[in-house]
Structure 1
């Protein structure tokens, strides 16, 4: 399958005519017809129904064209991006298991961004699962990864980093905490050490990228499993962290955080750390082995270390 075959097919579908498509493509009708026929034979499908009045798209052709148009649009985007020098940028991408770890260091990069010389800067921040963060760094989709594991599971990152040719560096430790608003009824009715015995009766808010009703946190924890020995009465799953905080701020719900509440004080939240070694997390940043770090990456790592130093 070639780009020419895809472009001919997409154009014929737009024109509903091989002759009109050939005119727009500045080629012969027979060339277009033969090219599409070869593609149909190669894929084993019929894309167009041919009649004396013209052509119409078949059912399987409609599905194929949706993919073909997407490929051609991406091809056009890449060609346009690299054919114009003013589109060239400095790229910096970070993948992390928590959006909080992504955003805070960025707020301290303003002087660098403001006074940077040369190409414009394009920064991308992505919230991902543990395995997706490592994959992003391994396959150069991100310059830097930020992950955490339960302290007793530290061998996992050692093993995976070796397999994926990554380097990892410890940032610090934290306790998994339950976060709820300061005037939550559970805090009003019970001492903090007793809240855990009653919290599962309240709505639980989870911010996730992919739907997974069997998981309540990014990594396994005995205390969290015990917290949900019985399924929560209500689980609110949302892929927007800010919206999840709004829900907790205005309802009797709660969420689980990988640290004590460290966000700017937009809300009055209380954090209750879960006790026990099973709830101690170790945080790491990850790079490709022998990777030459850009100035922006090095600066981001410095700000990341400052942030964890204050946890």
Structure 2
């Protein structure tokens, strides 16, 4: 199968006529007919039905054309990127992160620091297993995840098999997220056992994936909650915590620029375990100027979030 055959099929489908398609593409009708016959033979399907009124797509043909159109569009996009030597090269940089507002804050600061005339920056907020997969497949340059004493051994072994290195940024005391006015909101600290009677909010992760890849801090010492809500994006999570008596666990770090002032976090006591916040990349991949800048900004954003979180807690106690 060639791109030329795909282009012929797409044009014939658009024109509903081999003769008109041949005229538009400046080729002979017999060339298109032969190319389509070879394509149908190779794929063992009939793409078109032919009659005196022209050609019509078969059901198999419609399915094939939906894929062919995507390939053609991607092919033309790649051609356009490199067709002109006059066009300046485009800065490309991508980040995948667990659902951390401080990572988004660092990304925003990065955007404001870049002065290139052309760039394509990407940030993906997703589950830990997807962050690791994005780094492994080079979809992203840098990933932001956490480990704990409990999960560190397993996760680092998993990273090592994929030639990925983990760089620690900060060790954080795990915390509980609650709304202001929650029955637990007046506590200076909380124990895991105090959470079991409340709805526990968790982020969705791949079915069958180890609990070590959970977004939340693992409350292994506590019994499983009776009521659980599972979500897959940070905005929904914040709204649920702010409008119900649901609780969740995590770093507890609040970022001023991205904070809903109805939410607060309370340190989780009784754990010597910490959340090890850090970033990952492929071992053989150079960090680059943008990567180095993002890492510096990530350090700054986490430190800034720590100070702001302490300020919010002090105000709630006064």
**TM-score, normalised relative to structure 2:** 0.81
Aligned to 2:293: 299
Aligned to 2:313: none
1:181 offset after TM fit, Å?
A: 1.3
Aligned to 2:238: 245
Deviations 1:204-263 (A, max 9, x none): 5555587899989436724497342x243xx26353x234323433x1143524211412
Indicate whether 1:42 and 2:34 are aligned.
no
Aligned to 1:30: 30
Q: Where does the alignment leave 5 or more consecutive residues of structure 1 unmatched? A: none
Q: 1:196·1:227 contact (CA, 8 Å) conserved in 2?
A: no
Aligned to 2:62: 62
1:127 offset after TM fit, Å?
A: 1.5
- Aligned residue pairs, count: 301
1:3 offset after TM fit, Å?
A: 0.8
1:180 offset after TM fit, Å?
A: 1.8
Shifted more, 267-276 versus 57-66: the winner is 267-276
1:68 offset after TM fit, Å?
A: 0.8
1:158 offset after TM fit, Å?
A: 2.8
Task: Quote the Cα distance in structure 1 between the aligned partners of 2:51 and 2:216.
Answer: 59
Does the residue aligned with 2:33 lie in a helix, a strand or coil? helix
Aligned partner (choices 190, 214, 218) of residue 215 of structure 2: 218
Task: Quote the Cα distance in structure 1 between the aligned partners of 2:217 and 2:110.
Answer: 34
1:80 offset after TM fit, Å?
A: 1.8
CA shift in 2, pair 1:40/1:277, >3 Å? farther
CA shift in 2, pair 1:32/1:279, >3 Å? farther
Aligned to 1:106: 107
Q: 2:217·2:250 contact (CA, 8 Å) conserved in 1?
A: no
1:74 offset after TM fit, Å?
A: 1.3
Task: Quote the Cα distance in structure 1 between the aligned partners of 2:273 and 2:64.
Answer: 49
Does the residue aligned with 2:36 lie in a helix, a strand or coil? helix
CA shift in 2, pair 1:309/1:198, >3 Å? closer
Q: Where does the alignment leave 5 or more consecutive residues of structure 2 unmatched? A: 307-318
Aligned to 1:78: 78
- The alignment yields a C-alpha RMSD, in angstroms, of 3.2
TM alignment of 1:1-311, pairs within 5 A = 1-84=1-84, 85-86=86-87, 88-109=89-110, 112-113=113-114, 116=115, 118-185=116-183, 187=185, 193=190, 197=194, 200-202=197-199, 204-208=200-204, 217-218=214-215, 221-223=218-220, 226-228=223-225, 230-232=226-228, 235=229, 237-239=231-233, 241-249=234-242, 251-264=243-256, 265-277=259-271, 280-309=274-303, 311=306
CA shift in 2, pair 1:61/1:135, >3 Å? same
Task: Quote the Cα distance in structure 2 between the aligned partners of 1:220 and 1:300.
Answer: 25
Aligned to 2:310: none
Q: 2:47·2:62 contact (CA, 8 Å) conserved in 1?
A: yes
Does the residue aligned with 1:91 lie in a helix, a strand or coil? strand
Q: 2:94·2:139 contact (CA, 8 Å) conserved in 1?
A: yes
Deviations 1:26-52 (A, max 9, x none): 111111111111111111111111222
Task: Quote the Cα distance in structure 2 between the aligned partners of 1:283 and 1:200.
Answer: 29
Task: Quote the Cα distance in structure 2 between the aligned partners of 1:41 and 1:255.
Answer: 59
Task: Quote the Cα distance in structure 2 between the aligned partners of 1:284 and 1:54.
Answer: 61
**TM-score, normalised relative to structure 1:** 0.82
1:141 offset after TM fit, Å?
A: 1.8
